[in-house]
Structure 1
Amino acid sequence: MRRAGLWKAAAATAIAVALLVGLGSWQLARLSWKTELVARVSERMAAEPVALPPPADWPSLDLAAWSYRRVRAKGTFDHEREARVFVNLSEPRGPLKGPGYFLMTPLRLSGGGLVIVNRGFAPEGAVGRAARPEGEVEVSGPLREAEDRNMFTPADDPGRDMFFARDPKAIAAGLHLDNVAPFTVDAEATAGAGPLPQAGETRVSFPNRHMEYALTWYGLAATLAAVFGAFAWRTVREAE
């Protein structure tokens, strides 16, 4: 009877160990993918800017292939349609940090169409002091996909030009804009620019704890196998 129970326990343990090892291997695969992603983004951020994709290409644009590529564009800012995206800037590249806003301003492109530009960070209470250049300007910076939302992201307040994600579609709808690019551009800091807004605050953050998770799953598998081994040894000894 004990031997029959032992075989059942062995089968259950084998299945559980296989699942745990599978989860660990999956995390190692994720680690490889994340390492390649970080390397690809770093390479794109270091490359020379290329021309912004034209409006005719926007509907079919492969955003993943363009994400974080440095682009350049010419146009005129529409400061009357400026939106604010709340952010708590904890690890800034510039001197300013803390709660504040990314100033998202539509750039009317010289060749037609609009692209929403993240001109930089302004602390709470300092938005009105941010520079607002007039006339045609040239903007360079990484192209960004829409920022993901989650269950904790507050609802936008278009009536106050207040948003909580860098989402060009939502911002365009809230500001009643047409022919807007399905991406945003983070303006880079330029020599001679004023202190506000603080440009060049592209946040490149890819949490990478996959090795830790893999070791956890493998450790659980090893522990389970060891516990079963001890149990089996005791069961066999008692049956003798």
Structure 2
Amino acid sequence: MTETVVPARRANPLWQVGKALILLVALVILLGLGTWQVERLQWKEGLLADIAARKDAPPVPLSAIEAMAASGGDIEYRTVTASGHFLNNKERDFLATYGDEPGFYIYTPLQLDDGRYVFVNRGYVPSDAKEPEMRKQGQLTGEQTVTGLARAELSGQPSGMPDNDLAKNIFFWKDLETMASSVGLPKDKVLPFFIDADRTPNPAGLPIGGVTIVDLPNNHLQYAVTWYGLAVALVAIVAISWWRKHHPDAPSQ
């Protein structure tokens, strides 16, 4: 009669305890990651709801956005209104798309009554209308009132973003200081944020306003389900293994 030899590692109580601890730690990590994603989901949903409320709120005067920015408040997507004169000969053009169509967003300085400036994203023009002479009717003159969304300036060049081409007036990222200096505006006279103009009808058709895109991916529910699913799978595997070990004669399904 052949005697069954039990491997020493399997018979060792310390190995069994160690294996149980490893499984427990793995389960805790999976559950922790799932819970973290649920918390992120709640945070992201709250943020999106806050942005929606800001966009739908009545516009506030430019001074309110200035005060908020000066105090370190979050000005992003807050509805604001401002009045002044567009400096059409100092626009800066940003490579962009509108739907699937390539083109540019036109950022034009708005000179305020107190002599300061704020860059306004007036909206989209197709590539063949980049040059101002191709859309002269859209070069609004006289006192203009702009309503739109406040947008914070960037702290630096985003990773992987090309350098702005000043010679061709083609910008890839919003470098406010360079935008101002490249058209001769003194840095201390330019407000430290932008305004994305709304879709108020332009008699000339171009630029097309209201181009702000709120793109905040919200995949946290999917991630939470994945981590919790892995935790359930781990428990199921351990349970099946335990059952087979203690019921070796049970029929397999």
| Structure 1 residue 10 corresponds to structure 2 residue 20 | yes
Within 5 Å, give how 1:3-82 maps onto structure 2.
3-53=13-63, 57=67, 60-64=70-74, 66-82=75-91
Of 138-147 and 67-76, the range deviating more from structure 2:
138-147
Q: Which residue of 1 aligns with 2:165?
A: 157
Indicate if the aligned counterparts of 1:63 and 1:145 stay in contact, CA closer than 8 A: no
Which of 222, 226, 230 matches 1:212? 222
| Structure 1 residue 109 corresponds to structure 2 residue 117 | no
Distance in structure 2 (CA, Å) of the matches to 1:19 and 1:48: 45
Q: Which residue of 1 aligns with 2:151?
A: 144
| Structure 1 residue 86 corresponds to structure 2 residue 95 | yes
Count of paired positions: 231
The residue identity in structure 2 corresponding to 1:17 is L
The residue identity in structure 2 corresponding to 1:156 is N
The residue identity in structure 1 corresponding to 2:229 is G
What SS is found at the alignment partner of 2:167?
A: helix
Of 159-168 and 11-20, the range deviating more from structure 2:
159-168
CA gap 1:223/1:171 in 2 versus in 1, 3 angstroms: farther
Indicate if the aligned counterparts of 1:55 and 1:112 stay in contact, CA closer than 8 A: no
Indicate if the aligned counterparts of 1:158 and 1:175 stay in contact, CA closer than 8 A: no
Indicate if the aligned counterparts of 1:75 and 1:108 stay in contact, CA closer than 8 A: yes
Distance in structure 2 (CA, Å) of the matches to 1:152 and 1:72: 33
**What TM-score do the two structures reach when normalised by structure 1?**
0.85
Q: Which residue of 2 aligns with 1:132?
A: 139
The residue identity in structure 1 corresponding to 2:167 is G
What SS is found at the alignment partner of 2:128?
A: coil
Distance in structure 2 (CA, Å) of the matches to 1:225 and 1:166: 50
Distance in structure 1 (CA, Å) of the matches to 2:225 and 2:59: 40
After superposition, the CA RMSD in angstroms is 2.4
| Structure 1 residue 227 corresponds to structure 2 residue 230 | no
Of 112-121 and 224-233, the range deviating more from structure 2:
224-233
Query: Offset of 1:19 from its aligned partner?
Result: 1.2
What SS is found at the alignment partner of 1:23?
A: helix
CA gap 1:114/1:139 in 2 versus in 1, 3 angstroms: same
Query: Offset of 1:234 from its aligned partner?
Result: 4.3
Indicate if the aligned counterparts of 2:202 and 2:208 stay in contact, CA closer than 8 A: no
- For structure 2, which runs of at least 5 residues remain unmatched after alignment? 1-8, 249-253
Larger Cα Rg: Structure 1 or Structure 2?
2
The residue identity in structure 2 corresponding to 1:53 is S
Query: Offset of 1:174 from its aligned partner?
Result: 4.3
Deviation per residue, 1:107-129 (Å, 9 max, x gap)? 11112321110000011111233
Query: Offset of 1:207 from its aligned partner?
Result: 1.2
Query: Offset of 1:5 from its aligned partner?
Result: 2.2
Higher normalized contact order (CA 8 Å, seq sep 6+, divided by chain length): 1
Distance in structure 1 (CA, Å) of the matches to 2:47 and 2:243: 47
**What TM-score do the two structures reach when normalised by structure 2?**
0.81
Indicate if the aligned counterparts of 2:157 and 2:175 stay in contact, CA closer than 8 A: no
Distance in structure 1 (CA, Å) of the matches to 2:179 and 2:246: 69
Query: Offset of 1:173 from its aligned partner?
Result: 4.5
% same residue? 34
